A and B are shown apart, each in its own frame.
Chain A
Amino acid sequence: MKKLTILAALLAAFACKPAETNAPPATGAAIQINGAGATFPYPIYSKWFDEYHTAHPNVQINYQSIGSGGGIKQLTAETVFFGATDGPMNDEQRRNAPGAILHFPTVLGGVVPIYNVPGTTSQLRFSGTTLANIYLGGITKWNDAAIAKENPGVNLPATDIAVVHRSDGSGTTYIWCDFLSKVSPDYKSKVGVNTSVSWPAGIGAKGNEGVSGLVQQTPGAIGYVELIYALQNKIPFAAVQNKAGEFVTATLDSVTAAAASVTMPDDFRISITNAEDKEAYPIASFTWLLLYEQPKDKARAKIMVDFLKWALTDGQKDASALHYAPLPKAVVDKELQAIAKIQL
Chain B
Amino acid sequence: MKRSDDRWFRLGTGAIAALVLLVVVGIGFELTRQSMLSIEKFGFGFWKGTTWDPVSGDFGALPFIWGTLYSALLALLLSTPIALGIAIFISELSPRVLRQPLTYLTELLAAIPSIVYGLWGVFVLVPIIRKLELITPDALKKLPLFKGPPLGVGMLSAAVILAIMVVPLTSSVAREILKNVPSTQREAAYALGATRWEAIKVAIGFGRTGIIGAIMLGFGRALGETMAVTMVIGNNPQVTTSLFAPQYTMAAVIANEFTEAADELYLHALIEIGLLLFIITIVVNLISRLLVRMRKAAA
Query: Does B235 make an interface contact (CB < 8 A)?
Result: yes
Query: Does A168 make an interface contact (CB < 8 A)?
Result: yes
Q: Are A197 and B236 in contact (CB under 8 A)?
A: no
**Bound Cα distance A199, B248 (Å):** 13
In the complex, what residue of chain A is closest to B149 when comparing beta carbons? A160
Q: How far is the CB of B38 from chain A (nearest CB, A)?
A: 15
Number of interface residues of B (CB under 8 A): 33
Contact of A196 among B126, B234, B260 (CB under 8 A): B260
Q: Are B55 and A69 in contact (CB under 8 A)?
A: no
Q: Are A206 and B55 in contact (CB under 8 A)?
A: no
Query: Does B13 make an interface contact (CB < 8 A)?
Result: no
Q: Would you give the 0/1 interface string for B43-86, flagging 1 where the beta carbon is closer than 8 Å to chain A?
A: 00000000111111000000000000000000000000000000
Query: Does B195 make an interface contact (CB < 8 A)?
Result: no
Query: Does A156 make an interface contact (CB < 8 A)?
Result: no
In the complex, what residue of chain B is closest to A168 when comparing beta carbons? B256
**Bound Cα distance A203, B123 (Å):** 16
Q: Are A217 and B236 in contact (CB under 8 A)?
A: no
Q: How far is the CB of A161 from chain B (nearest CB, A)?
A: 10
Query: Does B231 make an interface contact (CB < 8 A)?
Result: yes
Contact of B257 among A162, A191, A196, A214 (CB under 8 A): A196
Q: Are B127 and A195 in contact (CB under 8 A)?
A: no
> Which residues 190-204 of A sit at the B interface, judged by CB distance below 8 A?
191-199, 202-204
Q: How far is the CB of A231 from chain B (nearest CB, A)?
A: 22
Q: Which residues of A contact B263 (CB under 8 A)?
A: 92
Count, A-B residue pairs, CB within 8 A:
97
Q: Would you give the 0/1 interface string for B249-273, flagging 1 where the beta carbon is closer than 8 Å to chain A?
A: 0001001111111110000000000
Q: Would you give the 0/1 interface string for A168-197, flagging 1 where the beta carbon is closer than 8 Å to chain B?
A: 111100000000000000000001111111
Q: Are A196 and B261 in contact (CB under 8 A)?
A: yes
In the complex, what residue of chain B is closest to A181 when comparing beta carbons? B55
Q: Which residues of A contact B130 (CB under 8 A)?
A: 218
Contact of A167 among B53, B122, B256 (CB under 8 A): B256
Contact of B261 among A69, A167, A192, A213 (CB under 8 A): A69
Q: Which residues of B contact A204 (CB under 8 A)?
A: 234-236, 246, 248, 256
**Bound Cα distance A203, B230 (Å):** 11
Q: Are B54 and A168 in contact (CB under 8 A)?
A: no
Query: Does B153 make an interface contact (CB < 8 A)?
Result: yes
Query: Does B218 make an interface contact (CB < 8 A)?
Result: no
Q: Are B256 and A197 in contact (CB under 8 A)?
A: no
In the complex, what residue of chain B is closest to A217 when comparing beta carbons? B127
Q: How far is the CB of B215 from chain A (nearest CB, A)?
A: 30
Query: Does B31 make an interface contact (CB < 8 A)?
Result: no
Q: Are B54 and A197 in contact (CB under 8 A)?
A: yes
Q: Which residues of B contact A218 (CB under 8 A)?
A: 130, 151-152
Q: Which residues of B contact A162 (CB under 8 A)?
A: 149, 151
Q: Are A72 and B55 in contact (CB under 8 A)?
A: no
Provided the pairs A160-B149, A203-B246 are in contact, do residues A168 and B260 lie with their beta carbons within 8 angstroms?
yes
Q: Are B260 and A195 in contact (CB under 8 A)?
A: yes
* Interface-centre pick from B130, B248, B257 (highest chain A CB count, 10 A): B257
Q: Are A206 and B260 in contact (CB under 8 A)?
A: no
Query: Does A210 make an interface contact (CB < 8 A)?
Result: yes
**Bound Cα distance A214, B121 (Å):** 11
**Bound Cα distance A68, B257 (Å):** 12
Classify chain A's interface size.
35 or more
**Bound Cα distance A203, B157 (Å):** 13
Provided the pairs A199-B236, A202-B236, A203-B153 are in contact, do residues A193 and B55 lie with their beta carbons within 8 angstroms?
yes
Query: Does A93 make an interface contact (CB < 8 A)?
Result: yes
Q: Which residues of A contact B154 (CB under 8 A)?
A: 203
Q: How far is the CB of B253 from chain A (nearest CB, A)?
A: 8
Query: Does A73 make an interface contact (CB < 8 A)?
Result: yes
Q: Which residues of A contact B54 (CB under 8 A)?
A: 169, 194-198
Provided the pairs A214-B122, A217-B152 are in contact, do residues A66 and B259 lie with their beta carbons within 8 angstroms?
yes
Contact of B260 among A69, A93, A160 (CB under 8 A): A69
Query: Does A328 make an interface contact (CB < 8 A)?
Result: no
**Bound Cα distance A160, B248 (Å):** 22
**Bound Cα distance A16, B256 (Å):** 46
Q: How far is the CB of A243 from chain B (nearest CB, A)?
A: 24
**Bound Cα distance A204, B235 (Å):** 5
Q: Are A198 and B235 in contact (CB under 8 A)?
A: no
Q: Are B149 and A67 in contact (CB under 8 A)?
A: no
Contact of B235 among A67, A160, A197, A205 (CB under 8 A): A205
Q: Which residues of A contact B123 (CB under 8 A)?
A: 213, 217
In the complex, what residue of chain B is closest to A167 when comparing beta carbons? B235
Q: Which residues of A contact B261 (CB under 8 A)?
A: 69, 169, 195-196
Q: Which residues of A contact B258 (CB under 8 A)?
A: 169
Q: How far is the CB of B50 from chain A (nearest CB, A)?
A: 11
Q: Would you give the 0/1 interface string for B212-252, flagging 1 where the beta carbon is closer than 8 Å to chain A?
A: 00000000000000000011001110000000001010001
Q: Are A191 and B55 in contact (CB under 8 A)?
A: yes
In the complex, what residue of chain B is closest to A89 when comparing beta carbons? B262
Can you offer 11 A-B residue contacts whose CB atoms are under 8 A?
A: A67-B259, A68-B260, A171-B260, A194-B54, A197-B55, A198-B51, A198-B53, A198-B56, A204-B235, A214-B153, A217-B127
Known A203-B151, A217-B122, A217-B126; 13 more pairs at CB < 8 Å: A70-B260, A167-B230, A167-B235, A167-B252, A168-B257, A169-B257, A169-B259, A195-B262, A196-B260, A198-B52, A203-B154, A203-B246, A218-B152
Q: Kindly list the 5 A-B residue pairs having the minimum CB-CB distance in the complex, ordered from nearest.
A: A169-B260, A204-B235, A69-B262, A67-B259, A192-B55
